[in-house]
Structure 1
């Protein structure tokens, strides 16, 4: 339902802004601004996208978690799509997403929201196996020592000697 509201509200906002800015500046300056923001957005997207890719490769080489560069890269991708979409509202949101402090704030907010609403259940038993000692050929078990002079009859299991 929230996605449907966005698909309806964003075009209405864009149309209203086009009418207001077009009435204030005129048709050609308004179209020039839209084209200029798409060009600038493409340039900024390329710069920041390459930087995010370099950070991702560096994190993978050093064995660090790649989550931060991946999330930043995803936000840069969304910003690029918004900047390439014609409109003033989407351009503003796209430019906001391209600023690293705003991305960091949104990541912290999203992470806190995700952590507070999520439940993690571990079902893999590898954690229990890792606590056990490695297999060194020892078999654990209970035993009873029987004396030879007891009067028990051996069975036919193959482990006992007949008398």
Structure 2
């Protein structure tokens, strides 16, 4: 609720200072510039994301920049001088990098290896596991049942 009220107050102040039509023109111009910047930097961010994926690099930074560019574009397309200022700031690469460093300092990103946690495969020595696969059940772990549902404890539930 504070942002729309602040935007209206700034609209009134700018409108009183430069007039109504120049204020409306400024809002339209910032929206056009925002759409252009969104297209230009959004395409660049998407290309960086594809490059990271193609080269099997963690795309976390590219995703963060792409999200930030999208937020910047939305802020610039939203009428208002405060949101426009924030949107233009987010289009500056140094500001995005500073924001990304602040976010990533509190987030831990881990890579999940589809081959398992060990280099080269499944086991501590790498490669596929050797020997038979054994699932050891105690007597209480399994009981025969005619009930098709594994979630049912017994009659009635």
Task: Indicate whether the TM-score tops 0.5.
Answer: yes
Corresponding position: 1:61 with 2:58: no
| Matched residue, 1:44 | 37
Work out which of the residue numbers 66, 70, 79 in structure 1 matches 2:72: 79
Residue segments in structure 2 that go unaligned for 5+ positions in a row: 111-115, 133-157
Residue segments in structure 1 that go unaligned for 5+ positions in a row: 1-7, 121-125, 139-163
**How far 1:76 moved relative to its partner?**
0.5
Contact (CA 8 Å) 2:123, 2:129: kept in 1 or not?
no
Deviations 1:19-39 (A, max 9, x none): 110000000000000000000
| Matched residue, 1:15 | 8
Which structure has more helix as a fraction of its residues? 1
| Matched residue, 2:123 | 130
**How far 1:9 moved relative to its partner?**
1.1
| Matched residue, 1:88 | 81
User: Distance in 1 between the 2:129 and 2:13 partners?
Assistant: 75
Runs of 4+ in 1 over 3 A off after TM superposition: 126-129, 132-138
Pick closer, same or farther for the CA change 1:130–1:54 going to 2, 3 Å. same
User: Distance in 2 between the 1:130 and 1:16 partners?
Assistant: 64
User: Which structure's CA Rg is the greater one?
Assistant: 1
**How far 1:88 moved relative to its partner?**
0.1
User: Distance in 2 between the 1:110 and 1:136 partners?
Assistant: 43
User: Distance in 1 between the 2:54 and 2:129 partners?
Assistant: 33
Deviations 1:112-154 (A, max 9, x none): 1335xx9x9xxxxx5485325654459xxxxxxxxxxxxxxxx
RMSD: 2.4
Aligned residues: 124
| Matched residue, 1:29 | 22
Deviations 1:55-83 (A, max 9, x none): 11111111111111111000100001000
TM-score of the two chains, using structure 2 as the length reference: 0.71
TM-score of the two chains, using structure 1 as the length reference: 0.69
Corresponding position: 1:112 with 2:105: yes
